[in-house]
Amino acid sequence: MSTATDKRKAPAGERVADWADGRLGIYSLAKANMRKIFPDHWSFMLGEICLYSFIIIILTGVYLTLFFHPSMNEVEYHGSYVPMQGVMMSEAFASTLDISFDVRGGLLIRQIHHWAALIFVAAMIVHMMRVFFTGAFRKPREVNWVFGFLLLVLGMFTGFTGYSLPDDLLSGTGVRFMEGAILSVPVVGTYISFFLFGGEFPGSDFVARFYSIHILLLPGIMMGLLVAHLILVFYHKHTQFPGPGRTNNNVVGMPLLPVYMAKAGGFFFLVFGVIAAIAAIATINPIWNLGPYRPDHVSTGAQPDWYMGMPEGLIRAMPGWEINLWGHTLVLGVFIPLILFPLVLGAIAVWPFIESWVTGDKREHHLLDRPRNAPTRTAFGVAWIAEYIVLLIGGGNDMFAQYFHLSINAITWFVRIGFFAVPVLAFIITKRICLGLQRRDNDKVLHGRETGVIKRLPHGEFVEVHEPLSQDKLHTLTSHHQYTPAEIGPTVDENGVERKVGAMEKLRVKLSKGMYGEGNQIPKPTVEEYKEIQSGHGHH
Amino acid sequence: MSSQEIPEDKHLPSEQGDAHHGGVAVADDPFADPGLPVHKPRIQDIDDRAAKRSERTVAMLFTVSMLATIAFIAAYVIIPVDKIVYIFPLGKVSALNFALGMTLGTALFCIGAGAVHWARTLMSDVEVADDRHPIAAPADVKAKVMSDFAAGAEESAIGRRPLIRNTLLGALAMVPLSGLVLLRDLGPLPEEKLRKTVWAKGKLLINQNTGEPLRPEDVQVGSLTFVQPEGLEEGTHEFQTEIAKAAVMIVRIQPDDIKDKRELEWSHDGIVAYSKICTHVGCPISLYEQQTHHVLCPCHQSTFDLSDGARVIFGPAGHALPQLRIGVNGEGFLEALGDFEEPVGPAFWERG
């Protein structure tokens, strides 16, 4: 810091920084973070796409609020879109038409907003998969995993309330679906629906109410979670893949200033640029084709935005069970999907806690797993994705029927059975593939890389020349953890006193055997095995 | 001893990298960590001309971005908002939207591409290692925090004066109730509202296409006609809320084909009127198969048989569509003979 005795006059930038440091303590902050090291891997960009599309959504969303009227007052349209002139519609719909046809650039911003929202949710799921399959959720990052999951759920609902705002025929149908789902809740469903809609559906309140939820309540919570998520990423430091020089106690990469400032900062502009170009060439949510909402009208092929396809699949596939007893109706056909929605989604969210309970591992993990080296986890993740895809197919059963000329009943039955069968199949197949890949890694470590060079031996035999791996590769392929399965242990101690083993402990041991027992992971090669094979070279 | 010391659980594998941090290859261990690989210089690190080329590329990308921004502003000023142009392969698109989107996209993308190219080719790409430190605090820090907390708790006397603690908890638990109560006026109570529609005895069936009352002879076999009760005015909130319950579809079926006895009774000369609102989650049903008399909800594919009491034959709906009892008035127009006898639309707890 420059002082009064300092004869040299500091440059302007330094003086501004001095001013800020005296009030904000920025030098201490910069000391810790300016040259912070970030490891490099393409999959680490996925989270950045989430962050950047969120920023793009906020920027474009603020612009849209300048023109959008969140009102359900009925008005006659007199804007410049000729086919709708004279049509009665809500102010919300009319102002959305104005944004699309009368505000210069309004359509572009609307489409950037909508495209960025679709990309945001998609990027969150892919980012979550990256974190899941590499085991990046392990201690100390479990809380951040939960923050991320909450962001995904909130993102879905922010998207839903957002695309409901224009009060067009398609989104109104979606809101009606939501009302029907709320009505199915036992005891309080009717009351929640009346309070949410200010009376009967559709009433004249929901656009204004969804508006404050969409632009203030949910994004406000998300902003808080996002900041917390990023602070934790900084605080924990980034995970890295194993490799030469990369240990659990260091982080290898390049510094924030300048490399990641340029790479991550530049990537924001790449994401924004690509989304702007998509918005220029691909129309999204053309509400002018759909028309204003009327509860007695509907378009065929009514589809929600993609991330709502999963609950849509649940509700389409569920048989229409209804129980009428003592003057009350239990609408299981709708209520069970409503319950399954958070359960299916949340199954992936609780995995980190189940895994750490089974392993009993209390250590920090900063080195990522290769998915094959955690076969049960990987199989579970793939099973979850398979379930998600089955439900997406269910949610689009009419589209699949139309484009592939299939019977809609057959698709619905496929989803009903597939809901139970497909995840199991996916689990078994994935686990086998993982174990196969582990064996292949073992082969590579012990016998070297297949060179593709065929050698003919003096006695006529053909062999492929294998080339031993470099130490870098040997280390990378053998450095992963392998847990030994938990044991119940002796139930009688040395004094002959019997020890009670709880049901939970028995379950834990059973799960542990299923994850790390014989046949559930391939023991990695030992140094002795390696040396023995290397010394007897030539035996393949 | 820090609390991050690795616990000596036998079934846990040893943490890799601990033993040879610093990357000295142990001759005995072929799998040992050889340490960070040596940095391989890029072409730009050794050839100044290549570095110059990279510099020019980056500068060119930034320049293109500037030009694109100028083009954006020009397009905004010049192109009329309603101009439609044909652009292969997009078809007819808004010229302004396309021009603004492409120029904005280019301006943004080129900044990003320039920055990334700069980072990849001209900034140092030497990998360095930073040490990690355990997240959990060392034991002495924890001990200090625990003793501070104990001192604070002791000074507050909350443990010794349970009356204060308990009444505080009570007050904090109760105060959110005010907020809950304030939500009461979000909407009216349901009461019987979901059970009643505007249909009543003597209300004429108005054809939604023509706005005219219907005569039986207007309804042909095999056609699906959407009707609403007379007196509903379009363009009002009441209309939206009432039509959400009162929308009705009518079809004419040969009376011999009607399998359900009550359906036949409530029909007029083979004309049957059913609620158009799906009993699943309330979509309007709009697809009619005239051969089978099946109607299909386009939202979730619930299928109802209109010749058999509109019972559910496929899909997620839980019960049949409510039927509206109809007849013909003195002037020969179709009229309702009362309201629906059961609630229309999705089922709810009080429906019974």
- Residues A398 and A431 reside in one and the same domain: yes
Q: Which domain holds residue A11?
A: 1-33
Let me know: does B308 contact B263? Beta carbons within 8 Å.
yes
Let me know: does A493 contact B21? Beta carbons within 8 Å.
no
pLDDT, position A6: 56
CA distance A349 to chain B (A): 22
The DSSP bridge pattern shows strands B323-324 and B326-328 to be unpaired
CATH of the domain at A230: 1.20.810.10
The ipTM of this complex is: 0.90
- Residues B222 and B322 reside in one and the same domain: yes
Most confidently predicted of A31-40, A63-72, B35-44 = A63-72
Whether A482 contacts chain B with CB within 8 A? yes
In a domain, B152, yes or no: no
Angstrom distance (rounded) from CA A177 to CA B282: 7
What's the gap between Cα A277 and its chain centre? 24
- Residues A532 and A428 reside in one and the same domain: yes
Confidence label for A2 from pLDDT (cuts 50, 70 and 90): very low
The lowest-confidence range among A329-333, A476-480, A494-498, B332-336 is A494-498
Considering only CB atoms, A249 lies closest to which of B17, B128, B312, namely: B17
CA distance A459 to chain B (A): 33
**Please, is B91 exposed, middle or buried when counting C-beta atoms within 10 Å of its C-beta (0-12, 13-18, 19+)?**
exposed
- Residues B212 and B109 reside in one and the same domain: no
Confidence label for A397 from pLDDT (cuts 50, 70 and 90): confident
- Residues A53 and A20 reside in one and the same domain: no
- Chain A residues lying within 8 Å of B37, measured CB to CB: 244-245, 472
Question: What percent of chain B is modeled with pLDDT above 70?
Answer: 92
A 393-422: CB under 8 A from B: 397-398, 408-409, 412
Q: Report the pLDDT averaged over residues B312-323.
A: 91
Whether A491 contacts chain B with CB within 8 A? no
DSSP A79: S
CA distance A5 to chain B (A): 37
**Cβ-defined contact of B31 to A196 (cutoff 8 Å):** no
- Residues A23 and A140 reside in one and the same domain: no
pLDDT, position B229: 92
- Residues A271 and A408 reside in one and the same domain: no
Angstrom distance (rounded) from CA A68 to CA A165: 9
- Nearest Cα to B20, choosing from A50, A475, A379, A235? A475
pLDDT, position A7: 58
Q: Report the pLDDT averaged over residues A444-471.
A: 91
CA distance A394 to chain B (A): 10
Which of B20, B108, B278 is the best substitution to test chain A (most A C-beta atoms within 10 A)? B108
Q: Is the dihedral of CA A201, A207, A212, A215 positive or negative?
A: positive
**Cβ-defined contact of A104 to B81 (cutoff 8 Å):** yes
Does an H or E element contain B205, and which? Answer: strand B205-207
**Cβ-defined contact of A320 to B135 (cutoff 8 Å):** no
What's the gap between Cα A503 and its chain centre? 34
Whether B351 contacts chain A with CB within 8 A? yes
Average pLDDT taken over every residue of chain B? 88
- Residues B111 and B204 reside in one and the same domain: no
Cα separations in angstroms, A494 against A467, A491, A497, A499, B79: 54, 10, 7, 11, 91
- Chain A residues lying within 8 Å of B25, measured CB to CB: 471
CATH of the domain at B292: 2.102.10.10
Q: Count how many domains chain A has.
A: 3
- Token code pair at residue A398: 């009419």
The DSSP bridge pattern shows strands B84-87 and B91-94 to be antiparallel
Angstrom distance (rounded) from CA B212 to CA B227: 10
> Residue for token digits 């009368």?
A102
- Chain B residues lying within 8 Å of A330, measured CB to CB: 349
The lowest-confidence range among A129-133, A264-268, A498-502 is A498-502
In a domain, B76, yes or no: yes
CA distance B151 to chain A (A): 29
Asked if the model's pLDDT at residue B343 lies above 50, the reply is yes
- Residues B110 and B203 reside in one and the same domain: no
Let me know: does A119 contact A95? Beta carbons within 8 Å.
no
CB under 8 Å to A116, separation ≥6 — which residues? Answer: A53, A56, A57, A60, A275
- Nearest Cα to A244, choosing from B21, B15, B131, B132? B21
Confidence label for B3 from pLDDT (cuts 50, 70 and 90): very low
- Residues A74 and A24 reside in one and the same domain: no
CA distance A282 to chain B (A): 8
**For chain A, how far is it from start to end, CA to CA, in angstroms?**
68
Let me know: does A293 contact A168? Beta carbons within 8 Å.
yes
Q: A255: cis peptide before it, omega within 30°?
A: no
**Cβ-defined contact of A108 to B104 (cutoff 8 Å):** yes
Let me know: does B112 contact A45? Beta carbons within 8 Å.
no
Asked if the model's pLDDT at residue A438 lies above 50, the reply is yes
Asked if the model's pLDDT at residue B24 lies above 60, the reply is no
- Residues A254 and A166 reside in one and the same domain: yes
Confidence label for B23 from pLDDT (cuts 50, 70 and 90): very low
DSSP SS3 for B334: strand
The DSSP bridge pattern shows strands A37-38 and A250-255 to be antiparallel
- Residues B328 and B203 reside in one and the same domain: yes
Asked if the model's pLDDT at residue B198 lies above 70, the reply is yes
pLDDT, position A537: 58
Angstrom distance (rounded) from CA A175 to CA A171: 6
CA distance A441 to chain B (A): 13
Average pLDDT taken over every residue of chain A? 92
Let me know: does B271 contact B251? Beta carbons within 8 Å.
yes
Angstrom distance (rounded) from CA B234 to CA A296: 12
The lowest-confidence range among B74-78, B82-86, B113-117 is B82-86
Asked if the model's pLDDT at residue B290 lies above 50, the reply is yes
Question: What percent of chain A is modeled with pLDDT above 90?
Answer: 78
**Please, is A72 exposed, middle or buried when counting C-beta atoms within 10 Å of its C-beta (0-12, 13-18, 19+)?**
buried
In a domain, B131, yes or no: no
**Cβ-defined contact of B298 to A300 (cutoff 8 Å):** yes
Q: Report the pLDDT averaged over residues A365-376.
A: 95
In this structure, the number of other CB atoms found within 10 A of the CB of residue A3 comes to: 6
For A440-457, give the DSSP string.
HHHHHHHH-EEEEEEEE-
Angstrom distance (rounded) from CA A336 to CA A334: 6
Residue that terminates a domain, selected from B121, B148, B163:
B121
pLDDT, position A351: 96
Cβ contacts from A onto B, under 8 A: 401
Most confidently predicted of A36-45, A144-153, A451-460, A462-471 = A144-153
Asked if the model's pLDDT at residue B139 lies above 70, the reply is yes
**Cβ-defined contact of A276 to B244 (cutoff 8 Å):** no
pLDDT, position A320: 87
Residue that terminates a domain, selected from B121, B140, B165:
B121
What CA dihedral angle connects A271, A275, A278 and A282, to 10 degrees?
Answer: 150
Residue B253 amino acid letter: I
**Cβ-defined contact of A202 to B244 (cutoff 8 Å):** yes
Q: Which domain holds residue B78?
A: 43-121
Whether B19 contacts chain A with CB within 8 A? no
CB under 8 Å to B98, separation ≥6 — which residues? Answer: A280, A281, B85, B87, B90
**For residue range A176-200, what is the model confidence (pLDDT) as tens digits?**
999 999 999 999 999 999 999 999 9
Confidence label for A495 from pLDDT (cuts 50, 70 and 90): confident
Asked if the model's pLDDT at residue A488 lies above 90, the reply is no
**Cβ-defined contact of A195 to B183 (cutoff 8 Å):** yes
Helices (H), chain B: 43-46, 48-78, 95-121, 139-156, 162-174, 176-182, 237-246, 261-266
- Token code pair at residue A153: 């759920």
Top-confidence residue, B258 or A536: B258
**For residue range B180-194, what is the model confidence (pLDDT) as tens digits?**
999 999 999 998 889
- Nearest Cα to A540, choosing from A475, A434, A486, A468? A468
CA distance A447 to chain B (A): 13
For A284-332, give the DSSP string.
---HHHH-B--TT---SS----GGGHHHHHHHHHS----EEETTEEE-H
Q: In what order do the strands lie in the sheet with B128-131?
A: A37-38, A250-255, B128-131
Asked if the model's pLDDT at residue B25 lies above 60, the reply is no
Confidence label for B287 from pLDDT (cuts 50, 70 and 90): confident
- Nearest Cα to B339, choosing from B273, B258, B269, B271? B273
Considering only CB atoms, A259 lies closest to which of B102, B123, B208, namely: B123
DSSP SS3 for B207: strand
Most confidently predicted of A422-431, A490-499, B151-160, B250-259 = A422-431
Let me know: does A256 contact A38? Beta carbons within 8 Å.
yes
Q: Count how many domains chain B has.
A: 2
In a domain, B26, yes or no: no
Angstrom distance (rounded) from CA A137 to CA A145: 6
**Cβ-defined contact of A320 to B302 (cutoff 8 Å):** yes
Top-confidence residue, B238 or B62: B62
Which region holds residue B345: left if phi is over 0, alpha if psi is between -120 and 50, else beta?
left
- Phi/psi of residue A9, nearest 5 degrees: -90, 120
In a domain, A68, yes or no: yes
Whether A291 contacts chain B with CB within 8 A? no
**For residue range B142-175, what is the model confidence (pLDDT) as tens digits?**
999 999 999 999 999 988 999 999 999 999 999 9
Q: A258: cis peptide before it, omega within 30°?
A: yes
**Residues composing chain B:** 352
- Chain A residues lying within 8 Å of B101, measured CB to CB: 108, 111-112, 276-277, 279-281
Q: Report the pLDDT averaged over residues B227-256.
A: 87
The lowest-confidence range among A86-100, A288-302, A345-359 is A288-302
